[in-house]
Structure 1
Amino acid sequence: MVTRLQTGKLKLKTVCNLQHIVVEDPDPTCFTMANKHKCWRDAMSAKFQALQQQGTCELVQPPKSQTILGCKWIYKTKRNSDGTIARYKARLVAQGNRQEYDIDYTETFSPVTKLPTIRLFITSAVI
């Protein structure tokens, strides 16, 4: 029996390395760190413009009896499979840890459409 070792046709040993990306510049953790870099300012501006165009939120006077929830920017560098930077992503999220049950906890709503729901509507329309 002729083995690969004898013929010289050895397969390369593939080793999975989960830490293959060397991060020179970690993602910022606060607004003041991100505001120093133009790429993060552009990402925040694009996200804020998208929120305004979609009509996600509107500016209103707060009721005096309600507590106001704060918001925070979350930053993430999206990379390609080879480790190069694809884009900088910034998200504006509400700080829901200040909500109180039965006061303002039940008013939070995030509409998400899932594929099974769309299929159900299409099926009912066909029938």
Structure 2
Amino acid sequence: MIKEMNALQTNNTWELVQLPKGKFTVGSRWIYTVKVGLDGTVDRLKARLVAKGYTQIYGLDYGDTFSPVAKIASVRLLISLAAMHHWPLHQLDIKNAFLHGELTKEVYMEQPPGFVGQGESDLVCRLKRSLYGLKQSPRAWFGRFSSIV
């Protein structure tokens, strides 16, 4: 959980503010995963902070949802071209991928459970970057990815 919080703070994911009148917050929770190695032993324990995006209201908190999908025919074409021309293929794994997307609408989230500072219990997180669980996160991340690539 501390590693995840460090990644969130390093990425400047949110700022603590007073909740403006007429605005609502999205909850947050921790998701825990046990990562297992090839030999079946526990490789590491992982914690990820996610927003409770299922509480968001269409038209008010977010617009369209988005999920980029590559057609299998396109993937096969790419692999066959690479094989024919002896091109190298590389896999890319972006850690905390959704944290790189920038939000266009204001989203307020409750502070992460277990990480509320003394005297800050009345503050909420104004998200600057997308977070797993938000309805607009895939579009925000893909927009950032497309602009760079």
Query: Could you state the TM-score of these two structures normalised by the residue count of structure 2?
Result: 0.45
Matching residue within 16, 19, 37 for 1:59: 16
Matched letter for residue 88 of structure 1: L
CA distance in structure 1 between the partners assigned to 2:18 and 2:33 by the alignment: 32
Q: Greater relative contact order (Cα 8 A, min sep 6): structure 1 or 2? A: 2
CA distance in structure 1 between the partners assigned to 2:5 and 2:54 by the alignment: 22
Matched letter for residue 52 of structure 1: Q
Q: Give the aligned partner of residue 92 of structure 2.
A: none
Residue 85 of structure 1, CA deviation: 1.2
Give yes or no for the alignment of 1:72 onto 2:25.
Answer: no
**Structure 1, gaps ≥5 residues long:** 1-43, 119-127
Residues 68-122 of structure 1 deviation map (CA, whole Å, 9 limit, x = unaligned): 10001000010101011111110000001111112112333432426x962xxxx
The Cα RMSD (Å) is 2.0
Matching residue within 47, 50, 54 for 2:7: 50
Q: Give the aligned partner of residue 59 of structure 2.
A: 102
Count of aligned pairs between the two proteins: 74
Percent identity between the two aligned chains = 42
Give yes or no for the alignment of 1:85 onto 2:115.
Answer: no
User: Which runs of structure 1 show a deviation greater than 6 angstroms over 4 or more consecutive aligned residues?
Assistant: none
Matched letter for residue 61 of structure 2: D
SS in structure 1 of the partner of residue 4 of structure 2: helix
Query: Could you state the TM-score of these two structures normalised by the residue count of structure 1?
Result: 0.52
SS in structure 2 of the partner of residue 93 of structure 1: strand
**Structure 2, gaps ≥5 residues long:** 64-104, 106-135
